[in-house]
């Protein structure tokens, strides 16, 4: 069988008859609930909104808890930490903007690339920071974790407020990405603030803020979506 015959065969398909009575019922249900809706704002508005929240949270962190970490970091370490952090943040913002409406491209791939950059950040931290003995590893770590979460939670709330009208198709991905973005804001605040350069402290307690936010975003969005689908 050649390509033309195959094409002809596929085109002469027999489609099943469409159930007209169900169509009428669906039409009636949709018409009964018909209200005007405001279309989503342009991508640029969401991009600017997400970026503004992120920068504002970092600035507030530097203002309220102090930039001791930033002041103590060498130029090389600043580049090693803040360059991949900024790139991962930018990609996550881009991914979230693309997730706002169905059929937008690169939503998933940019989120995956952002996760890859986050792993690169961990590798760079492991390379550029050394291990040091700490007498109060857990106590000082918990202080940092709480400080990071103090900024990540309001950021997550503001991101959710901005994103709640869109992102209806992949709630788990959107929740994880929004949580990740809030976690990156918390991590950025800690990197600006914390002068403890023990590699274990950074990898365990600073990074835990991001991971906790990703997990919380994933769980929250999944539960919310399940409730949403069961109510409709």
Partner 1 sequence: MEASRETLPSAVLEQLMVGYQQADAVATTALIEELSPQLYHFFAAQLGNREDAADMLQEAWLRIHRVRHTYRAGEPLLPWVYAIARCVRVDSYRKRSRIAVREVAVEVLPEPAVASDARGVLPSFDQLIADLPASQREVLTLLKVNGLSLEEVAGATSSSVGSVKQKAHRAYERLRSLLQSPTAGKDSTI
Binding residues vs partner 1 (CB under 8 A): 1, 3, 6-7, 9-11, 13-16, 18-19, 22-23, 26-27, 30-31, 33-40, 42, 100-105, 107-108, 165-166, 168-170, 229, 232
Q: Which of 50, 53, 52, 48 is nearest to 154 (CA)?
A: 53
Rounded to the nearest whole angstrom, what is the least distance from the CB of residue 20 to partner 1 in the complex?
A: 10
Cα–Cα distance for residue pair 163/7, rounded to 1 Å: 44
Question: Whose structure tokens read 């913002």?
Answer: 93
Nearer to partner 1, 84 or 175 (CB): 175
- Give the burial class of 128: count Cβ atoms within 10 A of its Cβ; 0-12 exposed, 13-18 middle, 19 or more buried: middle
Nearer to partner 1, 16 or 76 (CB): 16
Nearer to partner 1, 104 or 153 (CB): 104
Nearer to partner 1, 91 or 107 (CB): 107
Q: Which of 103, 82, 81, 84 is nearest to 92 (CA)?
A: 84
Cα–Cα distance for residue pair 51/88, rounded to 1 Å: 12
Rounded to the nearest whole angstrom, what is the least distance from the CB of residue 160 to partner 1 in the complex?
A: 17
Cα–Cα distance for residue pair 163/176, rounded to 1 Å: 13
Rounded to the nearest whole angstrom, what is the least distance from the CB of residue 93 to partner 1 in the complex?
A: 18
Cα–Cα distance for residue pair 216/211, rounded to 1 Å: 9
Rounded to the nearest whole angstrom, what is the least distance from the CB of residue 53 to partner 1 in the complex?
A: 21
Rounded to the nearest whole angstrom, what is the least distance from the CB of residue 214 to partner 1 in the complex?
A: 22
Nearer to partner 1, 39 or 135 (CB): 39
């Amino acid at each position: 069988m050649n390509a033309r015959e195959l094409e002809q065969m596929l085109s002469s398909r027999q489609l099943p008859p469409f159930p007209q009575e169900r169509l009428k019922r669906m039409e009636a249900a949709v018409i009964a609930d018909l209200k005007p809706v405001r279309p989503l704002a342009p991508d640029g508005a969401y991009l600017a909104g997400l970026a503004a929240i992120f920068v504002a949270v970092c600035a507030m962190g530097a203002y309220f808890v102090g930039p001791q970490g930033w002041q103590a970091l060498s130029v090389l370490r600043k580049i090693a930490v803040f360059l991949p952090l900024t790139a991962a943040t930018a990609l996550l913002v881009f991914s979230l903007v693309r997730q706002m409406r169905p059929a937008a491209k690169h939503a998933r791939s940019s989120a995956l690339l952002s996760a890859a950059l986050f792993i690169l950040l961990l590798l760079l931290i492991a390379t550029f920071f050394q291990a040091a003995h700490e007498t109060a590893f857990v106590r000082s770590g918990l202080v940092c974790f709480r400080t990071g979460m103090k900024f990540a939670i309001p950021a997550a709330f503001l991101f959710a407020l901005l994103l709640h009208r869109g992102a209806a198709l992949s709630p788990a991905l959107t929740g994880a990405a929004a949580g990740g973005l809030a976690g990156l804001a918390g991590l950025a605040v800690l990197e600006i603030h914390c002068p403890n350069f023990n590699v274990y402290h950074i990898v365990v307690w600073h990074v835990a803020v991001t991971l906790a936010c990703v997990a919380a975003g994933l769980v929250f969005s999944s539960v919310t979506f399940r409730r949403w689908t069961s109510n409709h």
